[in-house]
């Protein structure tokens, strides 16, 4: 191997956060100083499949309630400095214009890959160097510089180092959790990791025979924290999936309690009156209200209309785990945010080192929040770095 390649700013990880950080640096006129070292053969592979391929890249409401971190409110300064309007402007500067409903924002093309393509083209035009198939396995700081070592022997030196290596979810996109070791090398601690936005495993006895049945529902979850979501629940042979279960999964992917409210559009009293009217007509109580199999299961477990109404409104189910990191969209937990400056994402343990995106112990709800966090944290780091290089 020859002498190490040198760049002023090295970004490890060419996913969403790494590309966003490079783009913000390029917009500050520093594109030629930036190199991205990416483990895979191309930049932005995960970004291209987000939002079922449509790219739910941000949300018009990015308030704190949609984010979590072990250090409460850690994400606030970065979110305040980079609200939805800044994200909208950023995407427009790349030629990507947003559309969407209920807060969720997508590119007009409804193709996540059009965002990746626009970013790749902008980075190339701005002189950002991409070093692909570069799996960073070690990083060190000495003599005022960082050196990052790749598995294949390549080395890159830099004055500033940005870790944008993602989390442990969806390892087919290069994120298997092994890169946390790079941060640990600088003394950073990794908080416990949980899959989030994932299908849930539950006790199976109460839901036997319901596989494949989907029902509108509101789901409450109580585990590492409490969460609630409305959408639908899809019963599987191992537990529950569907948008409502998926949305609360981070709370109980390590186990916990679920309470499913079927027929969320009805109040319990109204439901009870419907059940009583059917009772008078000598009809199966839940027929016409719920899917037959689901209704029969609930009827078997309840004694009389009143108990049945209560069960339909508060069906308890124990979550025992999840389908795991490989099936999850996001990692909850990550680099402990106690040792990160919330305004700049700079490490408090190693000056000149910045950590952004999912690598940090910050995760968001389903709805464009995780990509917004990748962008807001990358923007914070880029702002601080651009002032110094």
Ligand X SMILES: Cc1cc2nc3c(=O)[nH]c(=O)nc-3n(C[C@H](O)[C@H](O)[C@H](O)COP(=O)(O)OP(=O)(O)OC[C@H]3O[C@@H](n4cnc5c(N)ncnc54)[C@H](O)[C@@H]3O)c2cc1C
Long-range Cβ contacts of 110-113 (<8 Å, 24+ apart):
110/54, 110/55, 111/53, 111/54, 111/55, 112/47, 112/48, 112/49, 112/50, 112/51, 112/53, 112/54, 112/55, 112/57, 113/48, 113/53, 113/55
**Residue 156 pairs with which residues in a beta bridge?**
5, 148
Give min distance, CB of 8 to ligand X, in A. 18
Binder among 123, 290, 311, 330 for ligand X (CB under 6 A): 330
- 337-376 binders of ligand X (CB under 6 A): 357-359, 368-371, 374
Question: With respect to ligand X, which residue has the nearer C-beta, 53 or 127?
Answer: 53
334 near ligand X (CB under 6 A): no
Residue 199 is a binding residue for ligand X (CB under 6 A): no
- Candidates 176, 192, 191, 188; CA nearest to 355 is 188
229 and 218 Cβ atoms separated by less than 8 Å: yes
Residue with the CB atom nearest ligand X in the bound state:
15
Cα distance between residue 163 and residue 82, in whole Å: 20
Within 137-176, the residues that bind ligand X by CB under 6 A are 164-166, 169-170, 173-175
Task: List the structure tokens of 245.
Answer: 């279960």
Residue written as token pair 């785990």: 321
Say if CB 44 and CB 375 are below 8 A apart: no
Residue 130 in the binding site for ligand X (CB under 6 A): no
Count of residues of this chain found to bind ligand X when the rule CB under 6 A is applied: 39
Residues 261-300 contacting ligand X, CB under 6 A = none
Which listed residue (7, 9, 11, 13) binds ligand X by CB under 6 A? 13
Q: Exposure string (b/e) for 288-315, b if CB count within 10 Å is 16 or more?
A: ebbeeebbbbbbeebeebeebbebbbeb
Q: Is 41 or 144 the residue whose CB approaches ligand X more closely? A: 41
37 near ligand X (CB under 6 A): yes
* Cα(372)–Cα(70) distance, integer angstroms: 19
For residue 105, state whether it binds ligand X (rule: CB under 6 A): no
Q: 347: which DSSP letter?
A: B
Among 78, 179, 193, 271, binds ligand X (CB under 6 A): 179
- Exposure string of 56-74, with b = 16+ CB inside 10 Å and e = fewer, is bbbbbebeeebbbbbbeeb
Query: Among residues 134 and 194, whose Cβ is nearest to ligand X?
Result: 134
Of the ranges 26-34, 118-126, 131-139, 278-286, which one interacts with ligand X (CB under 6 A)? Answer: 131-139
Query: Is 16 an interacting residue with respect to ligand X (CB under 6 A)?
Result: yes
* Residue 355 CB, nearest approach to ligand X (Å): 10
CB of 149 to ligand X, least distance (A): 10
* Contact residue for ligand X among 7, 10, 15, 147 (CB under 6 A): 15
List interacting residues with ligand X (CB under 6 A).
12-18, 37-40, 46-47, 49-51, 56, 134-136, 164-166, 169-170, 173-175, 179, 329-330, 357-359, 368-371, 374
């Amino acid at each position: 191997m020859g002498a190490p390649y040198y760049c002023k700013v090295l970004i490890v990880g060419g996913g969403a956060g790494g590309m966003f950080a490079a783009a913000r640096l390029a917009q500050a006129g520093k594109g030629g100083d930036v190199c991205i070292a990416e483990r895979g053969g191309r930049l932005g592979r995960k970004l291209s499949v987000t939002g079922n391929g449509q790219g739910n890249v941000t949300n018009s409401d990015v308030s704190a309630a949609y984010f979590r971190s072990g250090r409460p409110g850690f994400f606030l300064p970065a979110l305040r400095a980079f609200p939805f309007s800044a994200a909208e402007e950023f995407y427009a500067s790349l030629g990507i214009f947003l559309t969407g409903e209920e807060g969720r924002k997508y590119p007009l093309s409804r193709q996540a890959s059009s965002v990746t393509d626009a970013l790749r083209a902008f980075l190339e035009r701005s002189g950002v160097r991409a070093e692909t198939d570069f799996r960073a396995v070690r990083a060190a700081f000495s003599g005022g510089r960082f050196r990052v070592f790749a598995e294949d022997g390549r080395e890159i030196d830099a004055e500033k180092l940005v870790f944008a290596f993602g989390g442990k979810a969806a390892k087919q996109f290069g994120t298997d959790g092994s890169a946390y070791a790079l941060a640990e090398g600088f003394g950073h601690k990794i908080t416990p990791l949980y899959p989030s936005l994932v299908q849930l495993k539950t006790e199976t006895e109460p839901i036997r025979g319901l596989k494949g049945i989907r029902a509108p529902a509101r789901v409450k979850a109580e585990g590492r924290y409490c969460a609630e979501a409305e959408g639908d629940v899809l019963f599987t042979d191992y537990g529950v999936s569907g948008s409502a279960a998926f949305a609360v999964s981070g709370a109980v992917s390590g186990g916990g309690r679920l309470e499913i409210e079927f027929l969320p559009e009805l109040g319990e009293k109204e439901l009870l009156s419907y059940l009583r009217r059917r009772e008078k007509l000598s009809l199966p109580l839940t027929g016409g209200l719920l899917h037959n199999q689901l209704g029969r299961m609930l009827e078997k477990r309840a004694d009389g209309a009143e108990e049945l109404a209560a069960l339909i409104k508060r069906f308890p189910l124990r979550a025992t785990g999840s389908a795991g990191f490989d099936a999850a969209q996001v990692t909850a937990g990550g680099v402990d945010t106690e040792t990160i400056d919330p305004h700049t994402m700079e490490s408090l343990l190693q000056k000149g080192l910045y950590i952004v995106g999912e690598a940090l112990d910050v995760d968001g709800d389903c709805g464009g929040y995780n990509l917004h966090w990748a962008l807001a944290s990358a923007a914070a780091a880029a702002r601080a770095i651009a002032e110094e290089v």
